[in-house]
């Protein structure tokens, strides 16, 4: 007897039987929406609100081992990237998606970077160009100032994972809260000489602009 008859899949967001992500939870994700983040930097776009099914699905993938969600998020990212606004023609002619890195302990616990898995499943060009240096703590529960201090000087470029010289970079994250992580990653990429026209995040805990 097939195993899915004995243990039918359940939605990681609401526990409904039938699929790893039901249609109702999947509907929480849409076209990229501009996120209201403080400070200067490239525009940030999110696919869903972290409060609700979007956040539940991200947590299930990251912390509960629901690797069956990688194809779901891969499809969402693949559909979203072509919808990101272009500031000038040909902006993404030579480009790479650069996933925000995970702490080493978290990556080991999860069996690797969940964001890298998503990009590869999406079939998009990826560059594992960033890593966290020693001393980066878990950011859960930290405010904006503490998050900035936690990352200060600890986001580094990975020489063997860099995009081609002059390539544009879209930074990919799973959730934006204060914007500190994205800002630190963008700064490291810019110091390395890469253009970062946009940041794409699966979910956001911040206010969005639905018509952008």
For residue 38, count CB atoms less than 10 angstroms from its CB and return exposed for 0-12, middle for 13-18, buried for 19 or more. Answer: exposed
Q: How many residues does the chain have?
A: 212
Question: What pLDDT does residue 3 have?
Answer: 43
CB 128 within 8 A of CB 116: yes
28-209 belongs to which CATH class? alpha beta
Which residue from 32, 74, 64 is spatially nearest to 200, judged by alpha carbons? Answer: 32
Tokens of residue 145, six digits: 């100032």
Mode of pairing for the β-strands spanning 33-35 and 208-209: antiparallel
pLDDT digits (tens, 9 = 90+) for 84-142: 987 655 666 678 999 999 877 766 777 778 999 999 999 999 999 999 888 777 777 66
**What are the tens digits of pLDDT across the range 63-84?**
888 999 999 999 999 999 999 9
* Assigned token pair, 180: 């500190």
pLDDT at 87: 67
Q: What would the pLDDT profile of 35-73 be if each residue is shown by its tens digit?
A: 999 888 899 999 999 999 999 999 999 988 899 999 999
What lies within 8 Å, CB to CB, of 178 at 6+ separation is 143, 144, 147
């Amino acid at each position: 007897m097939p195993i899915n008859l004995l243990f039918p899949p359940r939605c990681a967001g609401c526990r409904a039987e039938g699929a790893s992500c039901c249609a109702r939870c999947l509907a929480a994700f849409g076209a990229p929406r501009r996120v209201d983040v403080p400070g200067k930097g490239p525009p940030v776009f999110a696919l869903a609100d972290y409060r609700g099914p979007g956040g539940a699905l991200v947590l299930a993938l990251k912390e509960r081992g629901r690797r069956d969600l990688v194809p779901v998020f891969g499809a969402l990212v693949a559909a979203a990237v072509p919808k990101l606004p272009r500031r000038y023609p040909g902006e993404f002619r030579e480009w790479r998606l650069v996933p925000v890195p995970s702490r080493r302990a978290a990556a080991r616990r999860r069996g690797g970077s969940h964001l890298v898995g998503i990009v590869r499943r999406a079939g998009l060009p990826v560059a594992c160009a960033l890593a966290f240096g020693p001393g980066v703590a878990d950011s859960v529960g930290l405010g904006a100032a503490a998050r900035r201090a936690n990352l200060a000087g600890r986001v580094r470029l990975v020489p063997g994972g860099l995009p081609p010289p002059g390539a544009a970079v879209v930074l990919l994250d799973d959730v934006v809260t204060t914007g500190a992580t994205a800002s630190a990653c963008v700064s490291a990429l810019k110091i390395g000489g890469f253009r970062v026209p946009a940041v794409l995040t699966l979910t956001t805990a911040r206010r969005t602009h639905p018509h952008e």
